[in-house]
A and B are shown apart, each in its own frame.
Chain A
Amino acid sequence: MHSMTNARPRLTVSGLHKQFLLHGQGGLEIDVMRDLSLTLHAGECLVLAGRSGIGKSTLLKMLHGDYCIDQGRIRLHFDDGTLDLETLPAYAWHGLRRDVIGYVSQFLRVVPRVAAVDVVMEPLLARGADEAESRQRAETLLARLNLPERMWQLPPGTFSGGEQQRVNIARGFIGEHPLLLLDEPTASLDATNRDVVIALIGEAKARGAAMLGIFHDEDVRDRVADRLLPLDDSLGARTAFTPNVQETLS
């Protein structure tokens, strides 16, 4: 499938740790990840596997800036150098997300009153793209994902789970980011639309995008994964309770 010979790494992760400290619950510490490392190349799709609660989504969220990076290193590689995400200042993240890191979350975060087509084209407008052209591309994607045309101008707040997810997928793929994070994008889709997503992933690979994905559906996984990264308990999911005295908030 994938030739590793001339592929260059786009992302390297090394020695990643993640712990949640829940002050509100007597200082509960949840160790989710210890010493995780991986390399992701341009044009490949690496699929995360492992039981529920092992930390798959957590990893994607760390790569997307949603979760803090406690320890370890996340580096992006470019032709002219590297970028360390663990030291990236907060103000730089929105530029990075706009141009480099795309993310399809498991659920669409609905913006009230904004029409589906506008939700989809927003990542292009954010880059200053031409409005008509962006709309055209958004509509093409929505059509490919079989979202009925009459729904394009409606806000997706009242859409079904699968319809919302298709809007989400279109929004995630329209920007053609060089690094794409996919958190169960096909979970609530029927077979037809799953095939469309698989095709979209194939096209992304062809243009050299690197993808890190989570797919529960084995059939989809087999069809998109170039490699599999199994997460197991040695990498985390250890919960420790620290019975320290809780400072009261007033």
Chain B
Amino acid sequence: MKKPALERPVLLDVQDITRLYGPAKGCEAIDFQLHAGEVLGIVGESGSGKSTLLRVLAGLEAPDAGRVVYRRHAGEDVLDRDEAELDLYAIGEARRRALLRLEWGLVHQNPRDGLRMGVSAGANIGERLMAQGQRHYGQLRATGQEWMRQVELDPGRIDDAPRTFSGGMQQRLQIARTLVTRPRLVFMDEPTGGLDVSVQARLLDMLRTLVRQLGLSVVLVTHDLAVARLLAHRLMVMRRGQVVETGLTDQILDDPQHEYTQLLVSSVLTP
């Protein structure tokens, strides 16, 4: 048999990112590469800098130092050469926001931050499509209903406003709204946080399926190691703004090397 093709193009190249609000508050000297099709989990205790790092990666907050480079060519054939590599904070804000709006996706921990609570579920799902220029109401609506089914929401509620939905339903709606344009790269901050266990399980299963079907690359922040085990291929462990250990998810959870990771893993029952 032939050697398997294991090389994956680098999608996101994170170089020495620092964003500090105070000593050990924020994130410091973070270096890693995200490969196409990979789900990278960022775990660590509360206040360790996970969300800060995610904001910097997602283009929402400029770092004090370092670069975030997005390689658009990764896994694709034809693209404008000049645009093949984007240095996230060297390109203008216009380009950066367009990237986040059109090619990337961001799932907030609190669905209220990611949804328009006053407009209908259908409009929420359709917004990114409309931003991309889709101008057919009937198609937008059909796509909206299809995605509601996909995330296990009743398509009959397409005209209801998200504030009439439960927390778990809102979170699923936010995910549908984000994934409807099939972004290549998705950032998620505690996507299952604050949900009860059975809702969380549905959501996890759904995310696993979507990752596989859409070939998503994901950076996932969570402090829940069970969630990390189920979703992430690879983990990065943060403490006081720094990365203390990275590796294959199973290795980090089953054979942690760093003192802090061992403590983190042992303080949780069977992740």
Interface residues of A (CB under 8 A from B): 20-24, 61, 64-68, 78-81, 83, 88, 90-96, 99-100, 109, 111-114, 125-126, 178, 247, 249
Interface membership of B266, Cβ < 8 A: yes
A196 → B minimal CB distance (Å):
26
Knowing A79-B1, A92-B6, A111-B205, the reply to whether A24 touches B266 (Cβ < 8 A) is yes
A155 smallest CB distance to B (angstroms): 9
B9 to chain A, nearest CB (A): 11
Instruction: Pick the residue among B2, B3, B246, B258 that contacts A90 (CB under 8 A).
Output: B246
0/1 string, B161-205, CB within 8 A of A gives 1: 000000000000000000000000000000000000110111011
B251 touches A111 (CB 8 A): no
Chain B nearest CB, measured from A112 CB (Å)? 3
Q: How far is the CA of A65 from the CA of B8 in the complex (A)?
A: 18
Interface range on chain B: under 10, 10 to 19, 20 to 34, or 35 or more?
35 or more
For the complex formed, measure the closest distance between the CB of A161 and the CB atoms of chain B, giving whole angstroms.
16
Residues A90 and B1 in contact in the complex (CB < 8 Å), given A65-B248, A249-B259: no
Q: Which of B201, B212, B246, B248 contacts A112 (CB 8 A)?
A: B201
B257 proximal to A (CB < 8 A): yes
Chain A residues closer than 8 Å to B259, beta-carbon distance: 23-24, 247, 249
A22 touches B262 (CB 8 A): yes
Residue pair B263, A113 in contact (C-beta under 8 Å)? no
Distance to closest chain A CB from B229 (angstroms): 8
Query: Which chain B residue shows the least CB distance to A208?
Result: B1
B118 interface residue per 8 A CB criterion: no
Q: Known pairs A61-B255, A67-B255. 9 more at Cβ < 8 A?
A: A24-B263, A64-B250, A79-B1, A80-B2, A83-B6, A90-B251, A92-B7, A99-B4, A249-B260
In B1-36, the 8 Å CB interface with A consists of 1-8, 33, 35
Contact check, B1 vs A114: say whether CB atoms are below 8 A apart.
no
